[in-house]
């Protein structure tokens, strides 16, 4: 009798695919990466561990989402899955690279772009997404051959990757560039460098170097220098926890927290701490309803919903 009961339960669980109910007021992780190379150390994730991060996230129901979509509240993640955003700072070593294989130029299978695209080839529902906050001074940007960089960056945009501003020389925007004009120069000159590579691209997001804000936040959201005007809808900080939902009352796109992708335990990479915590408390996790035009929330979370979303979205309380 007991055996019959257990097997019926197993069948029922299989039929429903065990997907959690939607909760679009749950947390979303914006993971922050720097170098991708071996060996693993501070600000360096090894290629193998980055691959494991993707595997781990995928197996736990996370799917890659485009940063600007999340900021816009346009969540296209399939029902029952959790969007996760990957970000890469500094155009650091091992993020963007191509190698010659059998006489053909291919994405380096050990670099971030190569690892993400290969993972998505095997698991198309993971999607291809990731935002690169670049600095042109980086040793890993080949400045002598900007034509090649332009082609790589355009190919990345076509694949679904995004680019963001990280300033031209990576200053502490409060101490190193204390005036508005200095800050605007840093931001505008980086944008003009990116637009030389990607003439049809619109950068909408910025990661603050060291996570440090200038004296006035407006200096980095809107500015002009040398005839170059910029505008950013979102600003990324450094650390230290998952972000609130873009539909939550306390969502502030100019203060988006990022989770540092780094080993906490040997086995559970990326912010293993947060992944484990969100596994233990699934009610904290953003779970998509699969429809970018509706916002589905649990009744008990209703008070956390931002006002005035009803004009743009259909709100479903479950
Ligand atoms: Zn940086």
- Determine the pLDDT at residue 271: 64
% the chain with pLDDT above 90? 76
% the chain with pLDDT above 70? 88
Q: Ligand 1 centroid vs 94 CA: distance in angstroms?
A: 15
Residue 83 token pair: 């969007």
Residue 223 CA neighbour count, 13 Å, CB half: 26
Task: Quick: pLDDT tens for 244-256.
Answer: 999 999 999 999 9
Question: pLDDT band at residue 141, thresholds of 50, 70 and 90?
Answer: low
Better pLDDT: 33 or 240: 33
Cα 190 to Cα 188: distance, rounded to the nearest angstrom: 5
- Determine the pLDDT at residue 144: 59
Q: Ligand 1 centroid vs 238 CA: distance in angstroms?
A: 9
Q: What is the mean pLDDT of residues 124-150?
A: 81
Domain 26-284: assigned CATH number: 3.20.20.370
Question: pLDDT band at residue 239, thresholds of 50, 70 and 90?
Answer: confident
Q: Ligand 1 centroid vs 209 CA: distance in angstroms?
A: 5
DSSP designation for 34: -
Better pLDDT: 265 or 31: 31
- When mean pLDDT is compared across 102-116, 128-142, 155-169, 178-192, the lowest value belongs to 128-142
Q: Ligand 1 centroid vs 166 CA: distance in angstroms?
A: 7
- Residue 11 confidence (pLDDT) above 90: no
* Summary mean pLDDT of the chain: 89
Residue 301 token pair: 């979370």
DSSP designation for 287: B
Residues near ligand 1 ion, CB 5 Å cutoff: 89-90, 209
Question: Where does residue 9 rank: exposed (0-12), middle (13-18), buried (19+ CB within 10 A)?
Answer: exposed
- Tokens 């600007």 locate to 68
Spans of all domains in the chain: 26-284
Q: Ligand 1 centroid vs 126 CA: distance in angstroms?
A: 27
Q: Ligand 1 centroid vs 87 CA: distance in angstroms?
A: 11
- In three-state secondary structure terms, 28 is strand
Question: pLDDT band at residue 263, thresholds of 50, 70 and 90?
Answer: low
Residue 30 CA neighbour count, 13 Å, CB half: 28
Task: Quick: pLDDT tens for 169-197.
Answer: 999 999 999 999 999 999 999 999 999 99
The neighbouring-strand residues paired with 296 are: 316
Question: Where does residue 180 rank: exposed (0-12), middle (13-18), buried (19+ CB within 10 A)?
Answer: middle
Residue 54 token pair: 């993707």
Cα 271 to Cα 49: distance, rounded to the nearest angstrom: 12
Q: Pick from 235, 162, 252, 237: which is nearest to 203 by CA?
A: 162
The strand pair at 62-64 and 44-45 is best described as unpaired
Q: Ligand 1 centroid vs 207 CA: distance in angstroms?
A: 8
Question: pLDDT band at residue 139, thresholds of 50, 70 and 90?
Answer: low
Question: pLDDT band at residue 6, thresholds of 50, 70 and 90?
Answer: very low
Q: Ligand 1 centroid vs 200 CA: distance in angstroms?
A: 25
């Amino acid at each position: 009798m007991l055996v019959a009961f257990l097997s019926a339960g197993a069948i029922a669980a299989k039929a429903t695919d065990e997907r959690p109910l939607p909760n679009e007021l749950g947390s979303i992780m914006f993971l922050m990466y720097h170098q991708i190379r071996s060996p693993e150390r501070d600000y360096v994730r090894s290629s193998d561990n980055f691959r494991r991060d993707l595997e781990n996230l995928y197996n736990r129901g996370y799917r890659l989402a485009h940063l600007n979509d999340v900021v816009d509240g346009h969540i296209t993640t399939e029902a029952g899955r959790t969007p996760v955003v990957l970000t890469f700072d500094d155009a650091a070593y091992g993020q963007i690279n191509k190698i010659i294989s059998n006489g053909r130029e291919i994405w380096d299978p050990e670099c971030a772009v190569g690892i993400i695209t290969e993972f998505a080839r095997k698991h198309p529902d993971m999607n291809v997404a990731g935002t690169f906050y670049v600095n042109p001074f980086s040793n890993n940007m080949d400045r002598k051959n900007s034509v090649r960089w332009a082609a790589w960056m355009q190919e990345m945009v076509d694949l679904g990757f995004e680019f963001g501003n990280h300033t031209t020389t990576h200053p502490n925007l409060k101490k190193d560039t204390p005036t508005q004009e200095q800050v605007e120069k840093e931001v505008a000159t980086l944008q003009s460098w990116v637009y030389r590579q990607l003439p049809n691209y619109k950068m909408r997001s910025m990661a603050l170097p060291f996570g440090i804000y200038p004296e006035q936040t407006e200096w980095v959201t809107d500015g002009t220098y040398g005839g170059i005007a910029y505008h950013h809808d979102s600003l990324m900080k450094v650390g230290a926890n998952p972000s609130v939902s873009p539909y939550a009352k306390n969502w502030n796109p100019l203060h988006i927290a990022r989770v540092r992708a780094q080993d906490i335990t040997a086995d559970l990479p990326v912010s293993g701490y947060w992944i484990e915590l969100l596994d233990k408390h699934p009610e904290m996790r953003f779970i998509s309803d699969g429809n970018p035009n509706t916002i589905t929330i649990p009744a008990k979370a209703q008070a956390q919903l931002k006002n005035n979303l009803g004009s743009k979205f259909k709100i479903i309380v479950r």
